[in-house]
Structures are given as structure tokens and as C-alpha cells.
Chains A and B, each alone.
Chain A
Amino acid sequence: MTHLSRPRAVRRAMMGLAGGLTAALALTACGANSDPQGETESDAPAGSLVVGSADFPESQIIAEIYAGALNAGGVDTTVTPNIGSREIYYQALEDGSIDLIPEYSGNLLLLADPEATAESAEEILDALPDALASNSPDSNLGVLEPSEAEDKDALVVTAATAEEYGLESIGDLAPNCEEFTLGAPTTFQERAYGLAGIEEKYGCALGFEAINDGGGPLTLQALLDDTVQVAEIFTTTPSLEDNDLVVLEDPENNFIAQQVLPLVNLDTVGDEAQEILNEVSAELTTEDLLSLNREVSGDEKRDPAEAAADWLSEHDLDG
């Protein structure tokens, strides 16, 4: 009896396994959007746009804002979130996997032209078109109107430290330089704007403690428990406000300007879409980024798409 029923049992098991696998594959097929190498274009209707985002929450939020505004304005748009680092999503833009992505003017310029010397917001905007054209001769990439919103690297200290040493600008660190340890990702030791840049521009060689969460919760913790006295944290991080941290001024432009703007493929993002994106940029402010980040990464932990939708309706951009 057993050996008669065995082949059937085997077949049934195999079919079960195959079925399970097909289901798993089908599940991923729905999610294929998140793979920049995937056939992103094929599952979006012809003529529609794909907004990409980098792998951090703020970029996802702005991408959702762009997509929401475009959809509301009648331009069919989908979002491919979490593509990864700048090098990777730039490539996705060049090969047509995505049509546009939120960017930061200074870092974008340094990617397109690592030798660029522009520091101020205007200089950077002036330099961008040529840099993009020479970096990607085969694509028609460009940036649209910049927003007022900016998210740049900054050195921050606690209010207590600021008071004790009378700190307002990075230069104020210099007299007591040897007492300060800076917490930042390991790569801060080699960036142009990193330890060398601070020493060169402000005459202060800081001690260093590597924390690799990109100015996230671990960096904050280290600052608060005095493991480090200075930390590199992005200016739109809500924890700055929540913990009464002081952002040190940077009169020498060690950290170059980083205005938020759309980086687009000019061949696929038409006039109508450009106009809508310019309207978004006209409304978006640094304070908006702060409060949006707070909603997504603060206690509320809202979904980036929901937070974006609320912002759009507050600014009458939801159609």
C-alpha cells in the first residue's frame, strides 16, 4: 500500500512547494518597484512618471509629496522608495528606471563634479546644469526650481555645553579645542568638509568618535550622555529641537548649501509636471521638513505617504 501511495504523496508535496514558491514570487512581483534594476517601467502605465527616493525618511517624504502633487495635477505618477545611496539612484535616473528624485543641491553638485568649489546656494545652482551635462552626456538631466527648504550637515552641541563655553559658531570651539570630541560617521575623518575642513577653516583639531548611524539616535545618545561634546547631525532632525541642542553657525561655509530640489530627466518630465513641481518647491520650507520628519521619525511614527498627503492638503496642492 505504502509504495503505491508514495508517488502521489511526492507529487502532492512537490506541487505544494511549487505553489508556495509561485505565491512568493507573485508577492515580490507586486513589490518589484523597489528594485531599481527591475523592470520598473513596464508595470507603470505608458507615459506615467516614477519618483525615486533615497534610503532615508526625509527623501521618502519629499518623494511622496512630489508624487502626490503630480497625481493631483493629472500627471500619473508612482513612487519607488528606498533606492539606496546617491550613486545608486543617480544611476537609476540615468538608465531611465526612475524619472525624478528629491535632491540636495550641494551634494548633487559634488557627485556630478567632485572638484567643484562652489559653496553658497547661488554658486551651487549656477554650477549644477553644466556639471550634470558633463557628468551624464547621454541623459538629459536637470534640476528644477529650488525650494527654500534646506537640510545640511551641521555641528551641534547641547545647550549646557554652549553656555559653558560661550559657543555660537564653530570658530568658538577653537580656544578649548582639545576638550571636545566630535561624534560622526567614520567617513567624516576623510571628507573635505570633515575634520580637515574644520581644522583648516576654524583652526580647531577636534577629537573624534565614530558613530555610524548618520546623525541618528545613537549619535544623539552619545551627545546627551557626554560621550561626545559635539555631533554632526542634519539640520532638519527633530531631535535638535526636542533636546534643546544648539546648531553652531558656519560662517566659513565649511558645510556647503543643500537646498532641496527635484533632479529630473528633462526628456520625460514635461512642462506640466515641471510646473507642478515648481509649485511644490515654492511652498516647501525647512520648518516643513522639520515637522514632517518629526511626524515620521518622532513618537508618532507616521507613514511617510500619509504625512506627505497632509502637507499637500495644507498647501492646497492635493487637487
Chain B
Amino acid sequence: MDWLRDIIDYVPANIDQLRELTGNHLVQAILPIIFGVLLAVPLAQLARQNRSLAGIMLTGSSILYTIPSLAMFVFLPLILGTSILSMVNVVVALTIYAIALLMRSTVDALNSIDDGVRQAAVAMGYRPLRRFLTVDLPLSVPVLIAGVRVISVTNIATVSVGALIGVPSLGRLFTDGLTRNYPEQIAVGIIFTLLLALVLDLLLVLLERLLTPWTRPTKASEADDVALDARTVAA
């Protein structure tokens, strides 16, 4: 079990580097989630109000979603004028994926809200913006968070790929580990990546409970999570 010992010893011996890379990794994974939500919700609302626009946006975003991350990381500097080493490329690429995935599920969520609820809000004198922010949006939080959870897990895994083109993240432990013939270092990178994904997911579950105090967590939300892959593609 020497290798296990090596893995455990690696962490305290390289704590500064790990802290730095984890920080870089988190920023590149979390910023796209925030930007994704902030952009996808208004876009989804826009799509619901204009059918032809909706078709264009949904098709466009699903094509963007298909473009592999490495190609996107390489290509974005051309369009943005950023350095190829810049974290901005990774953040923008992952934001695009997040919007593509969230927009569709947000449209579905907003569409699924009972008209009776909306009409009740209108009857109470809510203007459209207020109704959207205080009725429609909170009611679609569970679907939104289910999407965000999928994005956060894939983001954490995808950020590593940036290391191939020199963007700092936990992925550097993989590239450096290969050149140094150091499988333990790669293993540490994998374990840290898994832990980050787990912690972020727990925080999101917590966030959902805080934002939707009227629901109790049900078995159904777990099944939703599993079905999301199939659903986004099947839809």
C-alpha cells in the first residue's frame, strides 16, 4: 500500500500548490454557473414570449453545446482577443454550455407553471415583472437547481481540460503527473476533483432547500437528476 501512503503524504507536502490550483479550479467552475443562470433565465423568458426566436435560440444553443470543450478553449481567444492561457476562455466556454443546458430546462419549467397561479397573481395586481420575479421564478427553482447541479458536476470535470493548453487548474496535476511519471499526483488531482464536485453539489442541495422552503425533498427530485441527460437530448 505504498502508493496509498504516497497519495496521503502528497497533500501536506504540496499544500500551497494545491490551494492555488483548487482556487483557480473553483473560480473557473463557479463563475460560469452564476453567469449561466443570470443569462439563461431572461433568455428563457424571452424565448417563451417569441416562438420563432425560441426556435433559433434553442437550436443555436444545442449546436454550441455540441462543440467539444477543448476546441472551444482553443477557439475563443480568436474571437475574444484573449490570451490562450487566460482563464477567461474557460469561463466563457463553460458559461455557453451552462446557458445552452439551462435555457431549455428553464423554458420547460416556466411553461409548466399552472396558469391558475399566474392568474391569481395578476388578480392580486402583480405587474408582469413582479409576477415573474416573485411567482414564476421561485416556482421554477427546483428545475433550475436540478440543471445547475448537472452543470456544476460537469464543469468541475471539464475545467481540468484547460490544463492541456496551459490554463492553471487541478488539471495541471494530470499533465505534470504524466511528464513526471507520477501516478500518485494524478490520483490526488482526481480525488480533489471528486471532492470539489461533491462539496459543490451538497451546497446546491442546501441552496435549493433554502430557496424552496415550501417543498420537502422528495425521491422524485433524485430521479429527475438521473433523467436530465436523457431529457435534454431527447427533447
Over the window 180-218 of chain B, the binary record of Cβ atoms lying under 8 Å from chain A Cβ atoms (1 yes, 0 no) is 111011000000000000000001001100110110000
Is the beta-carbon distance between A27 and B203 smaller than 8 angstroms? no
B178 part of interface (Cβ distance < 8 Å): yes
Q: A13: which of B34, B82, B207 is its contact (CB, 8 Å)?
A: B207
A181 part of interface (Cβ distance < 8 Å): no
Alpha-carbon gap, A84 to B167, bound state (A):
9
Question: Taking A2-B214, A35-B86 as contacts, is the C-beta distance between A217 and B181 under 8 angstroms?
Answer: yes
The bracket for how many chain A residues form the interface is 35 or more
Alpha-carbon gap, A31 to B28, bound state (A):
14
Over the window 280-308 of chain A, the binary record of Cβ atoms lying under 8 Å from chain B Cβ atoms (1 yes, 0 no) is 00000000000000001100010100000
A88 part of interface (Cβ distance < 8 Å): yes
A36 part of interface (Cβ distance < 8 Å): yes
Enumerate chain B residues within 8 angstroms of A88, measured Cβ to Cβ. Answer: 84-85, 166
The 5 closest A-B pairs by CB, nearest first: A27-B23, A31-B20, A217-B181, A84-B166, A24-B26
A192 part of interface (Cβ distance < 8 Å): no
Is the beta-carbon distance between A20 and B27 smaller than 8 angstroms? no
Residue of A nearest to B34 (CB): A21
Over the window 34-65 of chain A, the binary record of Cβ atoms lying under 8 Å from chain B Cβ atoms (1 yes, 0 no) is 11110000000000000000011100000000
Q: A31: which of B21, B83, B180, B214 is its contact (CB, 8 Å)?
A: B21
Stretch at the interface among A4-12, A101-109, A246-254: A4-12
Alpha-carbon gap, A216 to B14, bound state (A):
22
A185 part of interface (Cβ distance < 8 Å): no
Give B16 Cβ to nearest chain A Cβ, in Å: 9
Is the beta-carbon distance between B181 and A27 smaller than 8 angstroms? no
Residues 67-108 of A contacting B (Cβ, < 8 Å): 82-85, 88
A160 part of interface (Cβ distance < 8 Å): no
Residue of B nearest to A9 (CB): B210
Enumerate chain B residues within 8 angstroms of A203, measured Cβ to Cβ. Answer: none
A to B CB contacts below 8 Å, 11 in the list: A13-B206, A25-B27, A31-B23, A35-B87, A56-B179, A82-B176, A83-B85, A84-B85, A88-B166, A297-B181, A303-B13
Enumerate chain A residues within 8 angstroms of B203, measured Cβ to Cβ. Answer: 16, 20
Give A111 Cβ to nearest chain B Cβ, in Å: 17
Alpha-carbon gap, A280 to B178, bound state (A):
29
B22 part of interface (Cβ distance < 8 Å): yes
Alpha-carbon gap, A27 to B34, bound state (A):
18
Over the window 84-106 of chain B, the binary record of Cβ atoms lying under 8 Å from chain A Cβ atoms (1 yes, 0 no) is 11110000000000000000000
Enumerate chain B residues within 8 angstroms of A26, measured Cβ to Cβ. Answer: 23
Enumerate chain A residues within 8 angstroms of B14, measured Cβ to Cβ. Answer: 303
Alpha-carbon gap, A214 to B175, bound state (A):
12
Is the beta-carbon distance between A13 and B211 smaller than 8 angstroms? yes
A179 part of interface (Cβ distance < 8 Å): no
**Count of CB-CB pairs between chains A and B under 8 Å:** 101
Question: Taking A34-B168, A36-B83, A37-B83 as contacts, is the C-beta distance between A213 and B210 under 8 angstroms?
Answer: no
Is the beta-carbon distance between A9 and B30 smaller than 8 angstroms? no
B130 part of interface (Cβ distance < 8 Å): no
Give B33 Cβ to nearest chain A Cβ, in Å: 10
A135 part of interface (Cβ distance < 8 Å): no
Alpha-carbon gap, A5 to B124, bound state (A):
21
Is the beta-carbon distance between B22 and A216 smaller than 8 angstroms? no
Is the beta-carbon distance between B211 and A30 smaller than 8 angstroms? no
Give A79 Cβ to nearest chain B Cβ, in Å: 12
Question: Taking A21-B34, A56-B179 as contacts, is the C-beta distance between A5 and B168 under 8 angstroms?
Answer: no
Q: B180: which of A17, A28, A57 is its contact (CB, 8 Å)?
A: A57
Is the beta-carbon distance between B168 and A35 smaller than 8 angstroms? yes
Give B223 Cβ to nearest chain A Cβ, in Å: 25
Alpha-carbon gap, A17 to B178, bound state (A):
35
Enumerate chain B residues within 8 angstroms of A34, measured Cβ to Cβ. Answer: 20, 24, 168
Residue of B nearest to A81 (CB): B17
B19 part of interface (Cβ distance < 8 Å): yes
Alpha-carbon gap, A24 to B179, bound state (A):
28
Alpha-carbon gap, A55 to B19, bound state (A):
19
Enumerate chain B residues within 8 angstroms of A24, measured Cβ to Cβ. Answer: 23, 26-27, 30
Residue of B nearest to A37 (CB): B83
B149 part of interface (Cβ distance < 8 Å): no
Is the beta-carbon distance between B30 and A21 smaller than 8 angstroms? yes
